[in-house]
Amino acid sequence: MDIIVRATAADAQIRVFTAYTKDMVEEARKRHNTSPVCTAALGRLMTAASMMGSMLKSDKDILTLKIESDGPIEGITVTADSKGFVKGYVGNPNVILPANKVGKLDVAGAVGVGFLDVIKDLGLKEPYAGQTELQTGEIAEDLTFYFASSEQIPSSVGLGVLMNRDNTVKQAGGFILQLMPGVSEETIEKVEKNLSNISSVTTLLDEGKGPKEILEILCEGLEPKIIDIIPVGFKCNCSKDRVSKALISVGKEELSKIVEEEDSINLHCDFCNTDYKFTKDELVELLKYAK
Ligand SMILES: [Zn+2]
């Protein structure tokens, strides 16, 4: 089961999120039939979004992470709710690239050069939006840079997705560690030392270490305190009912035109790759409600 562990350490001078997200990444892979490098890229961004979603304060808040870049993956979009449930997709799920210099899936090569958009819909008139330039395209470093430059929160982000030989997801997870205002030099030194002991998230996960163990490694000597452990996962909130409402909202004039010209229409949800078919009879029925 996918979970996020939320914790503080060093008398709340640090806050830490660690995540196990294998099921949500595998679910995304199955829904979108993503190639291994696309699964890794999407999985890393979904893992980060899940943790960042759980940072949102209000139940209805929504977080969107969007990578707009020039690589063959043609962008990645992920949305998370405040409970850490996520949905997402890539522009082109079929990218195949040779392994990178260290023999890993070449996420940076698939992503290319571009920007990371962080959009938080906090129920206000205008959503909060921050845009930063991608630093490496490996996603974790790009988020670290976003936190430092856009939110002024020194952070360390680790994300990893490991594939099985049959291209299903073997392991996925990550962490976000953030230094709170007033953090002492001594604490920073300990954090840096702990971080230097971590080779990669996938290595830890593959050694059988879960979010709690990763938390302990990150916070060695810093007395971590777990706040809560929450279940997370892949979740799309689309439904035929919601799509119907969207159709009604295009208005009487527009909808009559569709009824006249089409025998049936297909509406597609990008996030979960589901098609919703409407027959002429159904469209005629919806037209009654349109204004
Ligand atoms: Zn959907």
Gap from CA of 200 to ligand 1 centroid (Å):
32
User: What range does the domain containing 79 cover?
Assistant: 3-231
Q: What separation in angstroms does the CA of 229 have from each of 23, 25, 60, 90, 93?
A: 16, 19, 20, 29, 32
CATH number at residue 97: 3.55.30.10
Rounded to the nearest whole angstrom, what is the distance from the C-alpha of residue 75 to the centroid of ligand 1?
18
Provide Rg for the chain, Cα atoms: 21
Q: Are residues 93 and 202 in the same domain?
A: yes
Cα(230) to ligand 1 centroid in Å equals: 23
- If asked whether residues 109 and 173 sit together in one domain, one would say yes
Distance from residue 173's CA to the centre of ligand 1 (Å): 23
**Cβ density class 67-83: b for 16+ within 10 Å, e for less:** bebebbbbbbbbbbbbb
Query: Coil, strand, or helix at residue 7?
Result: strand
Same domain, 85 and 205: yes
Query: Residue 253: enclosing H or E segment and its boundaries?
Result: helix 252-261
CA 102 to centroid of ligand 1, rounded, Å: 36
pLDDT in tens, the chain (291 residues): 999 999 999 999 999 999 999 999 999 999 999 999 999 999 999 999 999 999 999 999 999 999 999 999 999 999 999 999 999 999 999 999 999 999 999 999 999 999 999 999 998 889 999 999 999 999 999 999 999 999 999 999 999 999 999 999 999 999 999 999 999 999 999 999 999 999 899 999 999 999 999 999 999 999 999 999 999 999 999 999 999 999 999 999 999 999 999 999 999 999 999 999 999 999 999 999 999
Distance CA 48, CA 31 (A): 19
How many A from CA of 33 to the centre of ligand 1? 15
Q: Say how many domains are in the chain.
A: 2
68 and 119 in a single domain? The answer is yes
CATH number of the CATH domain containing 244? 3.90.1280.10
178 and 153, same structural domain? yes
In angstroms, what CA-CA distances link 116 with 92, 151, 179, 195, 281? Answer: 17, 14, 22, 24, 43
* 239 alpha carbon – ligand 1 mean position (Å): 7
Q: 88 alpha carbon to ligand 1 midpoint, in Å?
A: 9
**Taking the model in full, what pTM does it have?**
0.95
Helix (H, G, I), strand (E, B) or coil at 105: coil
Please tell me the distance from the alpha carbon of residue 50 to that of residue 211, in angstroms, as a whole number. 14
- Considering the domain architecture, whether residues 251 and 270 belong to the same structural domain is answered as yes
**Could you give the CA distance from residue 86 to residue 107 in angstroms, rounded to a whole number?**
20
Q: What number of helices (H) and strands (E) belong to the chain? A: 10, 13
Q: Residue 231 Cα, ligand 1 centroid: separation in angstroms? A: 20
